[in-house]
Structure 1
Amino acid sequence: MSDEVLARCEVAGRSLKVRRAVSGDVPALAALFGADPVSAARGDGTEGDLADYERAFAAVDADPHQLLVVVTEAAGIVGTLQISLLPGLGRRGMLRGQLEAVHVDGSWRGRGLGAWLVGWAVEECRRRGCGLVQLTSAVERGDAHRFYERLGFTASHVGFKVIL
């Protein structure tokens, strides 16, 4: 397991660390996703085989434009997010940071961990040369939308997708 600490913080009197996720974290990450009702409704969780998660982890971990991190405390993983660096021609070639899969364990919500983690991710994107940071959030996540707006994000676009 990687023990390279990317950041440290104190939240609610507890010492937390951010590190790059490793393959051994996959079961805990699947459980964290599955504990979220919106993600669980999409099929996330630990029921059944973890092979899809393991394949996805291997692809993310091998891509230098991806950074999947976990937040840990003595009892284990309490949060995660993924930063994707998106090069493009738009905005005069500005590198963008995309935040994905932002999840905080339910017992840690409302204690400042999510705000700290997203703030850390924004600074990490800045450090890596990004000119903006973006994220998407499901329409049914009203509390998350208010949370992101409190952190300075603006609802600037309408998103579309096709499920394949």
Structure 2
Amino acid sequence: MPEDTEISLIRPPVVNIRAAKPRDLPQLNEMIALLAAHHGDAAAMTPETLERDLFGAHPWIQALVADTGSELIGYAILVPLYRAQEGKRGMDLHHLFVRDGHRGHGIGQHLVNRARDCARALGCGYLSVSAATGNFAAHRFYEQMDFTARPVTGMRFLQALA
């Protein structure tokens, strides 16, 4: 190699995938807003609501974060599921997000793998995830992560509770 050739090596940051902690609430809330905006939605989430749902008296969700040591660059939110007719516990991978500039480095794969580990540790027999009909990149990603596409059948109804 000629002496005047300069090689620039840019390494992705070392990332720790871990359970969210109370100190993560502001950055986690920010990433939820970024994901909502990506889908054309407005986020109504607040750090206080996240604190209630992650760390309150009756935790409702689990969150995993991708931590570089200086910032959070991704997250996954898990919500319990149940198939009563089969007596099977499951987990819904409700959100999966990696910040711009950090995609394509395997962060999403690591978050999914840790989500699987968490679900198994809780006695779950399956992990479920959904993606918008036209989000073909997400479809390919989940298929590469060994998820099997399943048709959505029937209607889902909602009733607001006062």
| TM-score of Structure 1 vs Structure 2, range by shorter chain | 0.7 to 0.9
The superposition leaves residues 88-112 of structure 1 with CA deviations (integer Å, 9 ceiling, x where unpaired) of 4132x11111111111111111111
Residue 77 of structure 2 is matched in structure 1 by 82
Moved more, 102-111 or 21-30: 21-30
Q: Read off the aligned partner of 1:38 and give its amino acid letter.
A: H
Selected match of 2:125 from 123, 131, 146: 131
Selected match of 1:67 from 62, 65, 89: 62
Q: CA deviation at 1:13?
A: 5.0
Residue 95 of structure 1 is matched in structure 2 by 89
Structure with higher Rg: it is: 2
Question: Runs of 5+ in structure 1 lacking a partner?
Answer: 1-11
Residue 113 of structure 2 is matched in structure 1 by 119
Task: Provide the rounded CA distance (Å) in 2 between the counterparts of 1:13 and 1:108.
Answer: 8
Residue 6 of structure 2 is matched in structure 1 by none
Tell me the number of residue pairs that the alignment of Structure 1 and Structure 2 aligns.
146
Q: CA deviation at 1:67?
A: 1.4
The reply to whether residue 43 of structure 1 matches residue 42 of structure 2 is: yes
Task: Provide the rounded CA distance (Å) in 2 between the counterparts of 1:105 and 1:35.
Answer: 8
More helix by share: 1
The superposition leaves residues 32-72 of structure 1 with CA deviations (integer Å, 9 ceiling, x where unpaired) of 23334434x11038xxxx6x452244123334563112111
Question: Runs of 5+ in structure 2 lacking a partner?
Answer: 1-10
Q: Secondary structure at the match of 1:87?
A: strand
Residue 141 of structure 1 is matched in structure 2 by 135
Q: Read off the aligned partner of 1:118 and give its amino acid letter.
A: V
Return the TM-score normalized by structure 2: 0.75
